Structure 1
Amino acid sequence: MNKPIRTVGVFCMLLFIALLAQSTNLQFFRSGELNDRPENRRVQEARFSAERGSILAGDTEIALSVPVDDRYLYQRQYPVAAPYAHMTGWFYFGGASGLERSQNRVLSGDDPSLFVNQLSDLLANRNPAGSNVGLTIDPDVQQVAYDQLAAQGDDVQGAVVALEPSTGRILASVSLPTFDPNQLALRDVNQVQENYQALYDDEANPLTNRAVATTLPPGSTFKLVTAAAYLEDHPDVDANTQVPGGSSYQLPGTRTSIANGGRSCGETTVSLTQAMEQSCNTTFLQLAVEEGQEGMTEVADAFGFNADPAEDYPGTAASAYPDNASDDLLAKSGIGQQDVRATPLQMAMVAATIANDGVLMEPYLIDRVTSPDGETITRHEPEERAEVVSSRTAGILQELMVNTVEQGTARQARIDGVEVGGKTGTAENCDGCRPYAWFVSYGERDGQQVAVAVMLQNVSPNVSISGGGLGGPIAKAVMEQALGVGE
């Protein structure tokens, strides 16, 4: 073969190799990226026309695809819209949000874990159908949490989260105000955009999932974390030990004093039980300073602050505990103020850890994935995240929380025949802002447990702000439903 022909042959072979490499790159390595591009209308139309899997809470379908007589074949619907909107999100021609987005490959049937089902559909010449996503949510507990929160008034802004302490299962997650995802899943894209803009412009922020994405100062509910840090470093301390108290406390290095709002907190000392029952600011300001930055940060981080709270729950925000604070700011962090920020999910994790003898289980929302015919493909197994405190410390904290319900500021959560521990809280986020009401609790009955956090962000000016008065009855109703009280 002469040189010119050989050169042309080598050149053609190189072109063929380059073409093969580019084809492999496009069809294999970049296929997911290209399919997900918003301008890829062909893929969008195919997805919108496919039978998408359902999202279920128990046996209740909270998102499903129903057949329709038009070019797209299926319409996404949300039958129980308001209580679940922030979890499910919505699915429409231009995109998706919430679980509809994070679980899109499962719901659409494209996830690699569904390979066997995909192969079966191919061999049987069936149109592929998406798999179903089953949540950990108990629909009865979710509905009670929603109803109780909504009963606070039309303008209520708040959230409720309930966890199963021994597993980390999220039993309820409610945020108000809410919205109707059906109005964001319409065929008319222009109408969807108009509906979305109206929600986006709403000053009440109905699109925000306050249960997992809103971080606010947790106020006195954070005193549980301060007490945990102190107890871990002082094995000789128990519920009856005298700790610093007093009617007021001057922040280190300042002329600012913080008082207890008229509560009985001793002249100079007070028992730890009474300090928690009466929610004595002076006690926990001083304990935080005595414990120091390192000790407070270590325990706060172990409870889940400064970390992603739940990997499978879309849109969650990390709660924050500040580092490198001066002593005056460190003191204020001990009562859940200053730069401490927490979501209701985070504070439910605190209560759940205490109820679970000091062990924090990984919170999770997705329980299982099932095929279109109901066969289980994957199921989540509970995972231990951390041993936050010793069982001894947890036992003392349980005693403190129960006493706070029986004799202290959390009486509104008492349930006959149930061990209930609780902690109230109010907090401010800015000068002149109305306080936020917090309530965290756990209940135990016949070996079954539930932990509940309630946050009320916007309350009528005509209502007295208190964590116990506002959050206590809500938490009580949720615990009664979760524990089967009265059944």
Structure 2
Amino acid sequence: MNRTIRRAGTVTLLLVMALLLRLTWLQMMHGEALADSDKNRRNTIEQYAQPFGDIYVGGEPVTGSKRAEDGGDLRYKRTYTDGPLYAPVTGYASQVRGATQLEGIYQDVLNGTDDRLKDPLQILTGEQAEPGNVLTTIDPDVQRTGYRALGDKKGAAVAIDPDSGEILGAVSTPSFDPSRISGSGSDDTAAWEQLTERSGNGKHDDRPMLNRALRHAVPPGSTFKLVVAAAALENDLYSSVDEPTDSPDPYTLKGTSTVLENENRSAPCEDASLRTALRYSCNNVFAKLATDLGAGKLREQAEKFGFNDEKQDVPVRAAKSNFPTEMDEAQTGLSGIGQFEVTATPLQMAMVSQAIAHNGELVDPHMVSRVQDGNGHTLQSYEDPDSHRVMSERTAQQLRSAMGTVVDKGTGSNAQIDGLTVGGKTGTAQHGVDNSGMPYAWFTSWAETDSGEKVAVAVVVEDSDAARAEVSGNGLAAPIAKKMMTAALR
């Protein structure tokens, strides 16, 4: 063999050995990362090789799977029953754009790749198992009632069972149909582009893919006064909701010349008791209370309700409801009426009423009851959630009584329901530069039957056809809450 051929053979052998060493090193050091990479199309092909498991509402699946029509290598695509109704719960699963909310959290269970679904042989071979299912706590009557009641308004509503923490409804409008974006065809692409165009920052931005029930925190306005009232009672600033307060009307924010007026200037708000102040939504009382308590005590009470929690999972991660960490006395006064930098999701304000209705104890809200394998065996249960005390039983009882007055004789009269005990709090929150935005109309409430069944509901209407002067929590949000509470308890 001549020298040139020998040298070429040696170099070739060395190159082959180097290539084998490189491949071995990559497999050992990065094999798992490469296999799990979003850019590895084999994973997507595997996921969509068989029908998915389903997400259930009220014992019936609200998701499905069907053969993809384009004949590509992704055999199945996701389908949705009443897609816009349940989109805030299910999220979407797209062949191209991934998965969100329950579809994303339980993706491995629903597509059969979760190791808990596999027998030992399937784990060794990497074979897909029969997919599992996710059972939600959503009550279809409550969900549908809230969705229809919101109609073409921009807003959201959340209903919770105070005793169990089960989320019975999570409604967000406007919504979208996840079925239209679940595939990889041109129609799906066009639908996605249309949805993203509606999620910009323009005048007609309505963001249909935004989960307003869980993922959108806005100023809560006067509904936050319940938190202030709880803090005042818990810190012994006042002994009961019927004790007169020291509250000049109008009230000048401390350290400023800014005078805080009440919307109803004829209301008996001067030195009003907490019951009267909640009934007439007296700004002077709650701004003064917040200032007297101080930012620290107010923040402590707000955080017991769930404000400032950055990991509020239900199991979908909710947006943080914010109570500011640094404020001067004037800003603290504004925070006492749910303004300044205070923000809340409908979930958070439902939790406020939830804790008050459940004797001061907050049971962790959750929208999934069980995760099952294909044979109905439980893989994970959420039916025994954690809880913590937010306030004393006496404080909760006092606030329930005062909230009942708001509905029976005050600003929440549109939430009255024959045969049920109802308590609530209205709110109208200003926002935008110089309060130029359309006010948010809020209502947070609870209802109870004679036999002790309960529900807590919070509603926010961000935009409607109503004139600015007609926007109010009682006018826009309370009727929606009333319908949802009725659906839950009847």
**TM, length-normalised to structure 1:** 0.89
What is the DSSP-based 3-state SS (H/G/I as helix, E as strand, rest coil) of the residue aligned with 2:441? strand
TM-aligned CA deviation for residue 99 of structure 1? 1.8
Indicate conservation of the 8 Å contact 1:410/1:472, yes or no: yes
Query: 2:135 and 2:405 mapped to 1: Cα distance?
Result: 38
What is the DSSP-based 3-state SS (H/G/I as helix, E as strand, rest coil) of the residue aligned with 1:285? helix
Indicate conservation of the 8 Å contact 1:64/1:77, yes or no: yes
Structure 1 residues 336, 267: CA separation in 2 closer, same or farther (over 3 Å shift)?
A: closer
Task: Letter of the 2:262 partner, please give it.
Answer: N
Mind listing any 5+ residue stretches in structure 1 that lack a counterpart?
A: 1-14
Q: Who is 2:299 aligned against?
A: 297
TM-aligned CA deviation for residue 365 of structure 1? 1.6
Task: Letter of the 1:165 partner, please give it.
Answer: P
Query: 2:417 and 2:86 mapped to 1: Cα distance?
Result: 27
TM-aligned CA deviation for residue 79 of structure 1? 1.3
Task: Letter of the 2:163 partner, please give it.
Answer: S
1:102 corresponds to which of 79, 100, 105 = 105
Structure 1 residues 125, 41: CA separation in 2 closer, same or farther (over 3 Å shift)?
A: closer
Deviations 1:239-264 (A, max 9, x none): 21001334311111111111112245
1:86 corresponds to which of 82, 85, 88 = 88
Query: 2:35 and 2:61 mapped to 1: Cα distance?
Result: 28
TM-aligned CA deviation for residue 176 of structure 1? 0.5
What is the DSSP-based 3-state SS (H/G/I as helix, E as strand, rest coil) of the residue aligned with 1:56? strand
Structure 2 counterparts to residues 26-175 of structure 1, below 5 A? 26=30, 31=32, 33-67=33-67, 70=71, 72-94=74-96, 95-114=98-117, 117-119=118-120, 128-150=129-151, 154=152, 156-175=153-172
Query: 2:413 and 2:159 mapped to 1: Cα distance?
Result: 19
Query: 2:127 and 2:20 mapped to 1: Cα distance?
Result: 35
Indicate conservation of the 8 Å contact 1:166/1:356, yes or no: yes
What is the DSSP-based 3-state SS (H/G/I as helix, E as strand, rest coil) of the residue aligned with 2:245? strand
What is the DSSP-based 3-state SS (H/G/I as helix, E as strand, rest coil) of the residue aligned with 2:384? coil
Query: 1:242 and 1:120 mapped to 2: Cα distance?
Result: 72
Mind listing any 5+ residue stretches in structure 2 that lack a counterpart?
A: 1-18, 199-204
State how many pairs are aligned. Answer: 462
What is the DSSP-based 3-state SS (H/G/I as helix, E as strand, rest coil) of the residue aligned with 2:263? coil
Indicate conservation of the 8 Å contact 1:358/1:390, yes or no: yes
2:473 corresponds to which of 456, 467, 473 = 467
TM-aligned CA deviation for residue 25 of structure 1? 4.4
Query: 2:238 and 2:77 mapped to 1: Cα distance?
Result: 63
Q: Who is 1:435 aligned against?
A: 439
When structure 1 is superposed on structure 2, of 240-249 and 224-233 the one drifting more is: 240-249
2:196 corresponds to which of 194, 200, 203 = 200
What is the DSSP-based 3-state SS (H/G/I as helix, E as strand, rest coil) of the residue aligned with 2:297? helix
1:233 corresponds to which of 232, 235, 242 = 235
Indicate conservation of the 8 Å contact 2:421/2:448, yes or no: yes
TM-aligned CA deviation for residue 349 of structure 1? 0.6
Structure 1 residues 68, 406: CA separation in 2 closer, same or farther (over 3 Å shift)?
A: same
Task: Letter of the 1:436 partner, please give it.
Answer: Y
Indicate conservation of the 8 Å contact 2:269/2:277, yes or no: no
Query: 1:24 and 1:241 mapped to 2: Cα distance?
Result: 72
Indicate conservation of the 8 Å contact 1:218/1:336, yes or no: yes
Identity of aligned residues (%): 37
Indicate conservation of the 8 Å contact 2:414/2:479, yes or no: yes
Structure 1 residues 120, 469: CA separation in 2 closer, same or farther (over 3 Å shift)?
A: farther
**TM, length-normalised to structure 2:** 0.88
Task: Letter of the 1:462 partner, please give it.
Answer: A
What is the DSSP-based 3-state SS (H/G/I as helix, E as strand, rest coil) of the residue aligned with 1:107? helix
RMSD, aligned CA: 2.6
